A and B are shown apart, each in its own frame.
Chain A
């Protein structure tokens, strides 16, 4: 019986060992949490996309060199349809597969782009119809219109893409703005959006 009772030294040693174990587990949990936060931060700030590590559907399906001449002709048509073309770069990217193409516009506010306001349609939504709605777009076999908006800070806030058929339907009144919104696909740069909103808030507070 006397053998089963631990000596004070043994008790102390056990207690010390237990504390070491706690610290070890705490360290592991902390490390895992830091790694997880790191992964989320890397994804949130689009590091893999910037480094070209994510699978790139554009590289697989679209021609490497855009049709610049087609883009210029389409831009002239969009101007005639009411789009303010200052600060707009418009390219036609042919699909590799079936002869169709995508009209991709960059609206760069650093170069003086401003939406044409005052029309019946939402100016942002109207931009899609101004690009998609003419004979040149038909001739160039435009299937989709993609619009990227670049802020004064040079950040792309949104990239939205609409099927040409839906853009035409919306322009002709055959579709509500809500329905048109539902037809859009895209990508939002949330860190840049957050940055813009904080700036806007600061301006308002001044």
Chain B
């Protein structure tokens, strides 16, 4: 479809629909319209009062525009990346919901977790949460593999590692009060979970400072006590 033809259809429709009650999509379309005019992609014909595309519309239509500043381009392109992340995060949330069912839907949870990890294999968040699922299922070997892949995904970046271990500590502390545990495994001893808790707090005690460090040091003591009380080696 040619651009001029496409815009020739779009623009009169924009004007026609402007007179009706505004839905959210209408609000967005009006905003887009104003932005395109502001950027010189469209211009108003002073004689007819109608909008028409300028030459600048061609790269916009073809999606080959760039600002010349890579940081700005990155910020714009991040929208698409985040849309995909949002879809996969939804899968992880639903998988964790499956685990909280009574009885838990473990197959459904695994299917969703696998889908998320396969879509973004380098994202430590998905590796963490599939690892948690494996821990809950007493599959320590698979959990170890996912948790190690998550750490590797950070590539030694301390900020990334800090976020990764905070996520693990947060899950561990939630697990202790039963928030994330599958209904039929809440009371079951799971050494793998306590070991991961200890490791996460140990890392955070090294990475953090001040009050935050004190909080994690206290968490470490609790996790170590849990390990001892459950006679884990």
Q: Interface of A with B (CB < 8 Å)?
A: 40-41, 43-44, 46, 49, 54, 56-69, 89, 91, 93-95, 102, 104, 106, 108-109, 113-115, 117, 122-125, 143-144, 146-152, 156-161, 178, 181-182, 184-188, 190-191, 193-194, 196-198, 200-201, 204
Contact = CB atoms under 8 A, between A and B. Distances in A.
Interface in B97-136: 120, 122-125
B78 A104 contact: yes
B74 A69 contact: no
A163 to B, nearest CB: 8
Given A44-B1, A157-B32, A201-B13, A144 B75 contact: yes
Interface stretch (B20-28, B171-179, B182-190, B221-229): B20-28
Given A89-B86, A102-B75, A157-B25, A188 B36 contact: yes
Nearest to B13: A197
A200 B78 contact: no
Contacts of B62: 40, 43-44
B61 interface: yes
A60 B72 contact: no
Given A93-B78, A106-B82, A198-B9, A181 B35 contact: yes
Contacts of A146: 75-76, 78-79, 82
A11 to B, nearest CB: 44
B35 A160 contact: yes
Contacts, number: 193
A124 B27 contact: yes
Nearest to A70: B163
Nearest to A67: B163
A44 B65 CA distance: 12
Contacts of B160: 63, 65
B164 to A, nearest CB: 8
8 contacts: A40-B62, A69-B163, A144-B75, A146-B82, A147-B79, A182-B38, A186-B35, A187-B77
Given A156-B83, A187-B65, A190-B60, A200 B13 contact: yes
A159 B62 CA distance: 15
Interface in B1-54: 1-3, 6-7, 9-10, 13-14, 16-17, 20, 24-29, 31-32, 34-36, 38-39
A66 B10 contact: no
B78 A198 contact: no
Q: Chain A binding site: helix, strand, loop or mixed by DSSP?
A: mixed
A184 B75 CA distance: 11
A193 B24 contact: no
B55 interface: no
A152 B23 CA distance: 12
Contacts of A46: 63
B166 interface: yes
Given A58-B74, A115-B27, A200-B26, A159 B80 contact: yes
Given A65-B153, A104-B79, A161 B72 contact: yes
Given A58-B77, A124-B31, A159-B76, A151 B25 contact: yes
Given A64-B122, A158-B28, 14 more contacts: A46-B63, A57-B71, A58-B77, A59-B81, A62-B81, A125-B31, A146-B75, A147-B79, A182-B39, A185-B75, A185-B76, A194-B10, A200-B29, A201-B16
A65 B71 CA distance: 17
Given A44-B1, A44-B62, A69-B163, A93 B34 contact: no
A104 B81 CA distance: 10
A58 B80 CA distance: 9
Given A43-B63, A106-B83, A193-B32, A68 B125 contact: yes
Contact of A198 (B13, B32, B36, B124): B13
Given A200-B25, A201-B13, A201-B17, A148 B79 contact: yes
Contacts of B24: 109, 113-115
